[in-house]
Structure 1
Amino acid sequence: MPNKEMLLIPGPTPVVDEIYEALAQETYSHTDPRLVKRFKNSLDMTKRLFNTDGEVFVVAGSGTLSMEMAIVNTVAPGEKILVISHGYFGDRFIPLAQAHGIQVEVLQSQWGKHVEISAVEEKLAEGGFKAVTVTHADTSTGVMSNLEELVPAVKKYGPLFILDGVCASAAIEENMQKEYGHPDYRIDLVLTGSQKAIGVPPGLAIVAFGPKALKAREAMDKVAAYYMDILRWLPTMQDPGKYYATHPVNMIYAYEKGMELVMAEGLEARYKRHAALGKAVRAGLAQYGMRALAPEEIAAPTLSCILYPEGVNDAEFRSKLAEKGMVIAGSLANLAGKAFRIGHMGNATEEMFIKAMELVGETLNEMGLRADPAKAVETFKNVYHEGLGK
């Protein structure tokens, strides 16, 4: 199934033929031994992705469902969480938790910046927080959280560390057994979806629970959920032949293939490729006077929020690119009309972004601005190859 356009939004991301072919295979019964084998393989690779010594859950749903599963199964009504937000998607934890009767306090950064670690420690020193939520790469701002600072700052006060990896997993390290300065300073839970850096179509909610997060659920008498209750799912995740709810059979095929591609590339190589690609995309676009909202030292490898230079009409620019087969996303909230968002993750290739640099320059010239596509392409390639060590 050939891709007819370059889908360079922050997700869904480009899907390769091998994944489409897996998705299109004959649908087995949700308890068929052949599906059970493939699902087990998928779950094993998911554990390897997060290097967890806990359990992983892969169910029909979206990243939003994975966010809710994470909160509902670790924090009881009346308990308190701290939301560390670097943008719109960090803020989504606020109404989500409140819908379940959970108390929420928030530390919000100015868009394009980090929440100060001193503010995090000052807030946590007040005590009483069951968990802290952190968005690894916020899809609205292109800001990447600094886990090297945040994990120890949070864990020394005791709360669970819940990481939203929706726009990061399989592109940025999320090692749940990594010790951040102390054996107890580890990520307790990672949540994500299938459609971003993993490179599979939308449709799967993926959540990895470490030992402390599992104990938090076990200590709760009940949760205000049925489908989202991980204890109901646990026997099925340990043995996919056991029925709880119908598996999304063809999506499991696609997910298995997507994870096989991730593992075949190698996690370290994949992280390096994404870091190089993000830096190169921003450097190439800078040749057109386009500046990333997030400074390079905190910019995400997976997507960028790019501020327009003077004189560019957002709707016209994105519409013209779409006519040429390149789709990018508008920005959110107060940045709407002032910036666009471009994804550079998953199965996106160097060739796609060489073409993207050319199309952006061509479009700017059509709109009456001076642009040099050859220079942007050259810059992109040089920075990308340097990042890869070529």
Structure 2
Amino acid sequence: MKRNKEMLLVPGPTPVTGEIYDALAQETWGHTDPRFVKIFKESIALTKQLFNTDGEVFVLAGSGTVAMEMALVNTVAPGEKILVVSHGFFGDRFIDIAEAFGIQAETIQAEWGQHVDPEQVRAKLAEGGFKAVTVSHADTSTGVAASLEQLVPVVKEAGALFILDGVCATAAMDEDMGKEYGASNHRIDVILTGSQKAIGVPPGIAIVAFSPEALAAREKLGRINAYYSDIKKWQPVMENPAKYFATPPVNLIYAYHRGLQLVMEEGLETRWNRHTISAKAIRAALATYGMEALADEAIAASTLSCFIYPEGIDDGKFRAALADKGVVVAGALASLAGKAFRVGHMGNATNDMFARAIELIGVTLNEIGYTVDTQAAVRKFQETCENRIVLEY
């Protein structure tokens, strides 16, 4: 039986491979069964490898939003202040989380499709009093990627914690907690993510990584206004998965374990390069249809793109007709709703899938009266992939 009957090219969830489905479908063991404990322990070790951290990682049932909450409430106390560096809709979610826990939040909001100026961040932090700065690595609403090379030093020079939302970037874009950005203490402090995007596993697992500095910040807070989200409750389990706090999602952990194995078998740098090359090729191909990406190539994410429709395209009709052909893409958000659509190009989706999707997008455009050359677009995609440049990290 064909398990993936559609090409799911939304910004998440992403296509799931047969190997991961097989892992997910294994018999459910008890969460204290030594066989499961072994898999969970290996998954935790692979997660540390994924982020190259000498701190601690937390893998538990939940969504990316739970991970956002965990990142914030375990580092910032009520009444303390954070700076939210937002490149779109999902960066703004930190504002609501902060408000719920009595944390003060100030925001630097980029125009959608643009990148926040690091000097603007520097000037804001110079006002003083900021405990942490939150940054979305790839904003799911706009397809804009944050520049860690520029932002991490600015934040760390100000003495704040750097909290990275990696939900739509982890396992596709460089996220290395051991990396120094210009000085020995200029590192990412917290990365949060979910299982369902570039890792390529079904939704349901929240993942958060804390550096030693972030763990020390948690210690200084003492008691916090959280229970499930308190990393102090989870730390004994992460150190020894045979211990119990709340029941782990056993079958999802099987799938996550296999998903991380596939990531490591491919190799992180190889995987980052694959995503970069495919993303550029997709954007180049759809540009031949008059579909321009919202984000300029210099600041575009490797995991998803938001495309502006040419004049006269009806969003609902286009996406419905495309879905009838087995290609599912996402609508745009907020002020871009109806004017653009979003394509996810991450995880275990393949270039063969992307080429077929580009062709079917062209077929759909022709059917609704907007004439395009589908074969030219596919050739552009293939040529861009073949003329790839291997990046150096």
Where on the TM-score scale, by shorter chain, does this alignment land: which range? over 0.9
Does residue 44 (structure 1) correspond to residue 84 (structure 2)? The answer is no
Q: CA deviation at 1:388?
A: 5.7
1:289 alignment counterpart: 290
Task: Give the secondary-structure state (helix, strand or coil) at the position aligned to 2:152.
Answer: helix
Q: C-alpha distance in 1, partners of 2:4/2:111? A: 37
2:329 alignment counterpart: 328
2:144 alignment counterpart: 143
AA of the residue aligned to 2:63: S
Task: Give the secondary-structure state (helix, strand or coil) at the position aligned to 1:57.
Answer: strand
AA of the residue aligned to 1:75: V
Q: C-alpha distance in 2, partners of 1:101/1:36? A: 37
Does residue 152 (structure 1) correspond to residue 153 (structure 2)? The answer is yes
Kept after mapping to 2: 8 A contact 1:78/1:101: yes
What pairs with 1:171-210 in structure 2 (closer than 5 Å)? Answer: 171-210=172-211
What pairs with 1:164-243 in structure 2 (closer than 5 Å)? Answer: 164-243=165-244
Does residue 89 (structure 1) correspond to residue 94 (structure 2)? The answer is no
* CA deviation map 1:34-67 (0-9, x unaligned): 0000001111110001000100000000000000
* CA deviation map 1:344-385 (0-9, x unaligned): 000010110110011011000001111111000000011112
Q: C-alpha distance in 2, partners of 1:65/1:385? A: 40
Q: CA deviation at 1:118?
A: 1.3
Q: C-alpha distance in 1, partners of 2:248/2:363? A: 46
Task: Give the secondary-structure state (helix, strand or coil) at the position aligned to 1:206.
Answer: strand
Q: C-alpha distance in 1, partners of 2:64/2:386? A: 32
Runs of 4+ in 1 over 4 A off after TM superposition: none
Kept after mapping to 2: 8 A contact 1:87/1:138: yes
Kept after mapping to 2: 8 A contact 1:290/1:308: yes
Instruction: Output the TM-score relative to the length of structure 2.
Output: 0.98
Q: Tell me which moved more, 378-387 or 167-176.
A: 378-387
**Unaligned 5+ residue runs, structure 2?**
none
2:73 alignment counterpart: 72
1:318 alignment counterpart: 319
1:122 alignment counterpart: 123
Q: C-alpha distance in 1, partners of 2:36/2:383? A: 44
* CA deviation map 1:266-292 (0-9, x unaligned): 000000000001100100100100000
Q: C-alpha distance in 2, partners of 1:248/1:332? A: 31
AA of the residue aligned to 1:6: M
Task: Give the secondary-structure state (helix, strand or coil) at the position aligned to 2:387.
Answer: helix
* CA deviation map 1:182-214 (0-9, x unaligned): 001000000000000000000000000001110
Task: Give the secondary-structure state (helix, strand or coil) at the position aligned to 2:321.
Answer: helix
Kept after mapping to 2: 8 A contact 1:74/1:216: yes
* CA deviation map 1:163-193 (0-9, x unaligned): 0000000000110010000001000000000
Task: Give the secondary-structure state (helix, strand or coil) at the position aligned to 2:342.
Answer: strand
1:262 alignment counterpart: 263
Q: C-alpha distance in 2, partners of 1:99/1:290? A: 39
AA of the residue aligned to 2:114: K
* CA deviation map 1:73-126 (0-9, x unaligned): 000000000000000000000011110000010000000001111110100000
Does residue 384 (structure 1) correspond to residue 368 (structure 2)? The answer is no
Paired positions, count = 389
AA of the residue aligned to 1:7: L
Q: C-alpha distance in 2, partners of 1:179/1:59? A: 28
Q: CA deviation at 1:387?
A: 2.0
Q: C-alpha distance in 1, partners of 2:191/2:387? A: 31
Instruction: Output the TM-score relative to the length of structure 1.
Output: 0.99
Q: CA deviation at 1:220?
A: 0.8
Q: C-alpha distance in 1, partners of 2:214/2:386? A: 40
Q: C-alpha distance in 1, partners of 2:118/2:160? A: 15
1:341 alignment counterpart: 342
Q: C-alpha distance in 1, partners of 2:115/2:337? A: 21
Task: Give the secondary-structure state (helix, strand or coil) at the position aligned to 2:206.
Answer: strand
1:251 alignment counterpart: 252
* CA deviation map 1:216-244 (0-9, x unaligned): 10011211111111011000000000111
Q: C-alpha distance in 1, partners of 2:61/2:373? A: 45
Q: C-alpha distance in 2, partners of 1:300/1:381? A: 20
**Unaligned 5+ residue runs, structure 1?**
none
Task: Give the secondary-structure state (helix, strand or coil) at the position aligned to 1:312.
Answer: coil
Q: C-alpha distance in 1, partners of 2:198/2:385? A: 18
2:274 alignment counterpart: 273
Q: C-alpha distance in 2, partners of 1:244/1:116? A: 42
Task: Give the secondary-structure state (helix, strand or coil) at the position aligned to 1:207.
Answer: strand
The percent identity for this pair of structures is 65
Q: CA deviation at 1:311?
A: 1.2
1:133 alignment counterpart: 134
Q: C-alpha distance in 2, partners of 1:198/1:192? A: 10
AA of the residue aligned to 1:338: K
AA of the residue aligned to 2:48: K
Task: Give the secondary-structure state (helix, strand or coil) at the position aligned to 2:316.
Answer: helix
